[in-house]
Structures are given as structure tokens and as C-alpha cells.
Structure 1
Amino acid sequence: MDENKKAMSSLEEAIACPVCYKTLTTAPQDCNQCHNYFRNELAKLPSASLDLTPERIKGEIDDAVDSQPLRTELFRLPIISFLYERILPPIWAMGLRNVGGIDIEFQECREFFGQNLGIVADISCGTGIFSRRLALLQQCEQIIALDYSEAMLGQVQQQMQLEGISPSQITIIRGDVAALPFTPNSLDAVYSGAAMHCWPDATQGLRNIYQALRSGGKLFATTFLQPLPSIVFRFFTPDELPQMAIAAGFHPDCVQLETRGVYGIIKCVK
């Protein structure tokens, strides 16, 4: 089996329908739960992005929009996705996120993940800043960029074209952290940058990531902290983050927390 076929095979084993929770190889030809939508979506690989949100699969789009909080829906606005990478990185680099911004965060994450990674998921990827940098290193078997915002994922595709990144290097998935489209024990590492405060339920999101990680798999997640006011977003205290990770399934000895002002970095190993 050549490398491309091997990579596609491992990807098909990792991606699961978030409704019936079966993979392409185990889903029946006629699935009453997902109406074969999942099988048809995966047929688009590797040239197109996939929409694997439960509401899309079940055809319940209007109900889903009503059920999402503002902190989630906000990032679906085209103007937000357009400005995201053009405005925020300089602000982050001045110290709101890290002194040095995304460059420092990417370096720290790479050191934590180590070398020769298999399948890495960038969850709540935004415009794919992390995914694209990782793809340019060519050190991963597969990279998955997942976000709930169609507008953000459109920016991922545009930036990939500008940077000469092939669609085969990054699999783009519209997905919900509350119902991740991955099989248990299928991911080697997960990065989620400045995102947890946007999730409807951060503990549930961490629990889903824990289930998707292989034994020894690693999570590098960052978020903003109180005393930032939880008006639109849900900001956390430093004590809450490790507690949520432990509640999600990570062993207390395998959870590390670093705080830098109003920015928190949590590193977990399954």
C-alpha cells in the first residue's frame, strides 16, 4: 500500500459519523440514522471539506442554530472570519495570548507533542493557523482542521491555496466539539487554541477529546481566564481548568496548567 492510500485508510478509520458513531468501513450501506449522508460526505475526500455536524446529517439545521449560544454563533459571521487572522495575531503577540503570540504557542505545542506524529486534530481551528504551520513541517501522517464555523473553514481553504498546501495535507471538517466525528482511541494529539471559552460545554468538549485520543495521546489547549467578564464568553478560573480535565477522564498526574496573566495553557496526556 503506497503512502497516500495508507494515510487515507487511517483517516477513514479515525473519522466517525457523529450520529451513528460508525466509520466508513463499518457503517451499513443503508443507515437509517444518518441516511447515508456520512458515506456520501467521505466520498469527497481529499478534495473538499466535509460537514459532519449532527444537525446537518439529520437535516435539523434550523433547530441547531437556535440551540447554539452566541459565543459559538459569533464566529460563523463572515466578517469575523475575515478579520480573525488579519487583526488578532498582532494583539496576541503584544501579550494578550503570549508574549510572542502564536509563534511561541506553536513552538511550545510542537515540543509537547514531540516528533513523528500520526493523526493530529486542530479542534476549533479558526482559520487554521496551527494546522497550516503543522502541514508545512510535513511531520504528521494526517492533519484534521475542525471548526463549527463554515466561514472560518472557508478562510482555511483560501489560506492553504495561498501557501501552497495541498488538500491532501489537511482534512477540513465542519464539526461540533459536543459531538466530535472521531472514533475512540483514534487521535495521537489534539490542539485547541484560544477556544474553550467559546464552547457551549467545555467539560463535555474535553471529555469528547479524551475519548478520541489514543492511550498516550496528548492535548494542548489554551483559553482566556477570569477576571475577564463572562458576558458573551465563558471564562474560567485557574482552578477550574485542571478540574475540568480530570472530570473529562485525564489522570490528575497527567494534567499540567500554566497561567500567564489572563491566559491559561493546559497540557494533558491520556
Structure 2
Amino acid sequence: MATVIGYASTVFVSTPSSSSTHSTTPKFCFFKHLLKPILRRKKLLLASNIQATATAPSTDIIDINQPDERELSAKTNILACPICYNAVIQKGDTGLTIETKPRSSFECSTCKKSYYSNEIYLDLTVASGAKDYTESTPPSIEIFRTPLVSFLYERGWRQSFSLWGGFPGPDKEFELAKDYLKPVLGGNIIDASCASGLFTRLFSKSGLFSLVVALDFSESMLRQCHEFNKQEEGMPKENVILVRADIARLPFVSSSVDAVHAGAALHCWPSPSSAVAEISRILRPGGVFVATTYIVDGIYGTLPFLSTIRQNLVQLTSGHIFLSESELKDLCTACGLVDFTCVRNGPFIMLSATKPC
């Protein structure tokens, strides 16, 4: 999700980090592989290593014979109650596996609150199940909950990012992201603020991840994501689940996730610091956060009082939050992430940061 600003050139410049810088499909089962052993892990890692090293400057070798934390995390129930962050278990299931059919229910192992799935997604928001309570969200969030915007997202909306915002396009962005995600290939990945699931499909079809979680707050976006998933040829839908959640209250067990991707979304989050702090919490040590967004540099980056005015206007208008590169780096550092690095193209930026080991 994003709002388009500006026009950019087409030349990519690597910035050193820090200074180094969703009627249903037969057998569609949302949570079939949360604990499924990775039977083809060695083959996957070998193939992905060959592919990744062909495009990346690093010459690091992945030891495919040595068990690591990624294999363990893929076999662990990562879904959690967004209230107390403890694991949710399918009702009536005496085992640890979370495997569900449409309209299954789950219960928090601690506070005992129940959560329910429909034919499309599992709702793991705090207010899930509330009958009378409703919560207002900023216009910048509400717009993406409208069916029209969800329908248009991959029918012109997302494409405009390349024309006016310097975004290189989904395929190129996917290739760039894979380079940053090399250390966690074979693990699980959260496609945060997934919208209509453009990158969810790319991650799933790549075969590089054992589990792909498509996560968004918008019900209509998740419906559109589900429709596109059904239509996509060659997509292994059995390793994809759809979850409705708040980016600032992520329903995953702490230190259980290998990677989080957020494409064209960070500037739409009401509180980037709350969101990135949550991402840091759920990442396992060594886990990777990759995001794309728009940046504001220039005069805003050099005159602090103008930056303050900009942020106050954002608060008053419930608008999007556009940060500078230095602010993004500082944000990641403040949330406990290290090794910030980025690639830029005008107002477009892809950033990566890691949870310390």
C-alpha cells in the first residue's frame, strides 16, 4: 500500500550500510504447514544458494548438512494471541499442530480468548469477535479497506509507483529483496501489509520459503489476495496462509519468524516505530526485515525544524509518514535492529535490517 509522490530517475545507487547502509478452492487449507517438516530442505537450500550467489556480491556458503534455527522455527507454531502474545491452538486439537478447515476456531493458550477463521483468513486482531465495539482508523488506513481500492491495487494503482515514485517494479524489487533474504532462505516469511498479495505470490512460487503468511488489516485486500491466489498458476497454495492483523500488534510468538517483508507500506503505518518494534520482537535472532517505501530527503533532512513541522502536519491530517534515509536507519536502530543497509532510486528506497544474534 502506498501513495505516489514525485518523479525519479532510473539509476540505482547502493548506499553503504550505516555507512555500510483469500466458493473456495478444493483442499485449500490455511495452516497446513505451520508445523510441517521440511522434507526437501536440503534440495531447497542448495538450489537457492546457487541462485542467490549468482546475483549477489557475497560468496558466503550455506552449509546444507548442518541443522540450524530456521528448520526449528518452521516446525514451530508461530501464531499467537495479539493480547498476550502466547500461542493460539486450534480448538479440539490435542496436539500442537495448527491445521484448519474454513471456519475453524482457535484459542489462546493463556487468556483463553477465541479467534475464528472464515473461508479466507484468520482474524487475529485484538477486537476480533467484538459485537458492539468499533474502532476508528485514520483515512490513510480506511482507504485501503474499501473494495474499490483493493480491486484497483494491481490494476493500475501499484503500477503507478514505477512511473512517479522510482519503484523498479515487482520483479526487480523481488530480486533485490532475495539478496537481502539469503541468510533466511528455507524459513518462514511474513508478507506484512500484503495488500492484494503481489509479493505473497512471488514468495510462494519461488519455493524459497517453507511458509508464507499474507498479513493485512484490510478485509477487502485479503479477499482480493485470496482471489488472485486461486487464479495464479503454479502457486503452491498449501504453504500460504492469510491473516488479518494490526501491524502494531503482530499475532506471532516472539522470536519465531525468520523474515518480514513490507512492500510499499511503511509510510502507511500510523506508527512506524510501534510497527518496527513489533517486527523486531517477532524476528528470531538473525532474522531479516526488508521494506520498501518512499523517502523524503533534501531540505527536510537538513533542517530539523522543518522535519518537525512535517510530522505535525501528518498527525493533523492523518496522512502518510514519509521519512528520510537517516530517520529510517535511526528507527531500525531504536527498535533493536542492526546492520541497516539500503538501495535507493529517487524517492524509492529498499531497506534491510537484522535482528542481532
What TM-score bracket applies, with the shorter chain setting the length? 0.7 to 0.9
Higher relative contact order (CA closer than 8 Å, sequence separation 6+): 2
What do residues 115-147 of structure 1 show as CA deviations (whole Å, max 9, x unaligned)? 732110000001111110111122211100000
Gap change, CA 1:11 and 1:159, over 3 Å in 2: farther
Are residue 211 (structure 1) and residue 296 (structure 2) matched?
no
Distance in 2 (alpha carbons) for counterparts of 1:11 and 1:198: 32
Specify the alignment match of 1:236 in structure 2. 323
What do residues 9-65 of structure 1 show as CA deviations (whole Å, max 9, x unaligned)? 957610101013221359x97878453x23x54xx7xx64101111115x177432x
Question: Structure 1 residue aligned with 2:127, among 55, 65, 77?
Answer: 55
Max Rg structure: 2
Q: 8 Å contact 1:257–1:266 — kept in the other structure?
A: yes
Specify the alignment match of 1:119 in structure 2. 188
Question: Structure 2 residue aligned with 1:250, among 334, 337, 353?
Answer: 337
User: Shift of the alpha carbon at 1:187?
Assistant: 0.7
What does residue range 1-270 of structure 1 map to in structure 2 within 5 Å?
4=33, 6-7=35-36, 10=74, 13-25=77-89, 33=111, 35=113, 37-38=114-115, 40-41=116-117, 48-57=120-129, 59=130, 62-64=133-135, 66=136, 68-94=137-163, 96-98=165-167, 100-114=168-182, 116-164=185-233, 165-226=235-296, 230=314, 232-251=319-338, 254-270=339-355
Q: Which has the higher helix share?
A: 1
TM-score normalised by the chain length of structure 1: 0.84
Gap change, CA 1:183 and 1:83, over 3 Å in 2: same
Which SS does the other structure have where 1:56 is aligned?
A: coil
Q: How many residues align?
A: 255
Distance in 1 (alpha carbons) for counterparts of 2:33 and 2:191: 21
Which SS does the other structure have where 2:143 is aligned?
A: helix
Which SS does the other structure have where 1:257 is aligned?
A: strand
Gap change, CA 1:6 and 1:78, over 3 Å in 2: same
What do residues 163-204 of structure 1 show as CA deviations (whole Å, max 9, x unaligned)? 143542211000001100001111111100110111110011
Gap change, CA 1:96 and 1:16, over 3 Å in 2: same
Structure 1 regions of 5+ residues with no counterpart? Answer: none
Gap change, CA 1:23 and 1:87, over 3 Å in 2: same
RMSD: 2.7
- Percent of paired sites with the same residue: 29
Q: Which amino acid aligns with 2:140?
A: R
Q: 8 Å contact 1:7–1:142 — kept in the other structure?
A: no
Which SS does the other structure have where 1:185 is aligned?
A: coil
Gap change, CA 1:30 and 1:80, over 3 Å in 2: closer
TM-score normalised by the chain length of structure 2: 0.65
